[in-house]
């Protein structure tokens, strides 16, 4: 059961990775994660660029159904930062909160506006918040994972291709995250996803670049290598739901030794400067 939860959380975390937003807009997206056809996780994601020169990404997720009773987990992941230019977005704060059976873990990553990492604070369950000592050589030139992928997916809207790479620090490790563009694909509506049209397609690969990595792959690295052995790296499909609108992840596929997991876009809403709501697509209320 722990393996199933870990796989589902890794899949769902990708949903937040590539949700670009045009200036002065807020987008709300709902994603579902399925394992073996069973709906095991759900998440709501807000991307807000309505404040001049700023951006905000917030995801709240939790297990559901039988998995929620056996493995009660919830989490929130957010990044707030500066929009220096159209293609230069820099985090100020990246924060993750994970709750497992009422035991909460909080991590706060702080950055300066010049793009430099400043510090990391951690609060484990029933312990005081403390500053973690970090080797600066593994944080140099890094960004948070949400901003890194956010900028890659901007390319889908601008040039129709999903490609790019960034250095990321996750609290203990430094890694290079690379998005490789694949041939675009025509998607048709399915039971869990109403999108129909051409979607950009890309694979995602993480490569260790310093820090505390295990000799044998664990966590995400283990899942990634399982996919590689099966001939399919973690894959994301991205498309625009309306002409001139942002490109958003439509679905994500991760193949593992325990089966395939799919993330599907279930609902999408766009909010303009005046507070108006435009529902673009929905498959569940």
What is the structure's pLDDT at 276? Answer: 54
For residues 163 and 177, the answer to whether their CB atoms sit within 8 Å is no
Token pair listed for 241: 């739901």
The parent domain of residue 65 ranges over 2-282
Helices (H), 40-172: 65-70, 145-159
What is the structure's pLDDT at 11? Answer: 52
12 exposed, middle or buried (CB, 10 Å; 0-12, 13-18, 19+)? buried
What is the structure's pLDDT at 186? Answer: 93
What is the structure's pLDDT at 218? Answer: 77
Q: Along the chain (285 residues), what's the average pLDDT of each consecutive run of 10 residues?
A: 48 50 70 86 86 90 87 92 87 95 94 92 92 92 86 78 89 91 88 82 92 80 89 90 76 87 86 60 57
**Dist. CA 277–CA 273, nearest whole Å:** 10
Number of domains the chain contains: 1
C-alpha distances (whole Å) from 139 to each of 56, 83, 142, 204, 270 are 22, 21, 5, 21, 35
What is the structure's pLDDT at 275? Answer: 53
Residue 120, beta-bridge partner list: 109
What is the structure's pLDDT at 78? Answer: 94
For residues 151 and 164, the answer to whether their CB atoms sit within 8 Å is yes
What is the structure's pLDDT at 77? Answer: 92
For residues 4 and 26, the answer to whether their CB atoms sit within 8 Å is no
């Amino acid at each position: 059961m722990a393996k199933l939860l870990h796989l589902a959380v890794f899949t769902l975390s990708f949903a937040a990775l590539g949700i670009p937003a045009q200036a002065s807009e807020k987008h709300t997206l709902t994603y579902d994660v399925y394992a073996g056809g069973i709906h095991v996780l759900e998440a709501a994601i807000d991307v807000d660029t309505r404040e001049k020169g700023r951006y905000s990404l917030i995801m709240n997720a939790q297990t559901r159904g039988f998995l929620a009773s056996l493995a009660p987990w919830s989490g929130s992941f957010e990044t707030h930062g500066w929009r220096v230019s159209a293609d230069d977005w820099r985090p100020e704060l990246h924060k993750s909160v994970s709750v497992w059976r009422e035991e909460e873990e909080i991590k706060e990553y702080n950055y300066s506006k010049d793009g430099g990492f400043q510090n990391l604070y951690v609060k484990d369950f029933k312990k005081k918040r403390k500053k973690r000592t970090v080797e600066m050589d593994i944080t140099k030139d890094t960004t948070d994972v949400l901003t890194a992928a956010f900028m890659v997916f901007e390319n889908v809207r601008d040039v129709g291709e999903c490609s790019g790479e960034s250095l990321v620090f996750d609290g203990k490790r430094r890694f290079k995250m690379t998005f490789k563009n694949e041939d675009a694909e025509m998607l048709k509506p399915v039971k869990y996803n109403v999108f129909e049209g051409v979607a950009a397609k890309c694979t995602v690969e993480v490569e260790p670049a310093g820090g505390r990595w295990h000799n044998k792959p664990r966590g995400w690295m283990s899942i990634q290598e399982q996919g590689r052995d099966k001939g399919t790296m973690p894959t994301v499909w991205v498309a625009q739901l309306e002409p001139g609108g942002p490109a958003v992840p439509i679905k994500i596929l991760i193949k593992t030794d325990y089966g395939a997991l799919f993330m599907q876009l279930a609902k999408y809403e766009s909010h303009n400067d005046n507070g108006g709501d435009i529902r673009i697509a929905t498959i569940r209320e």
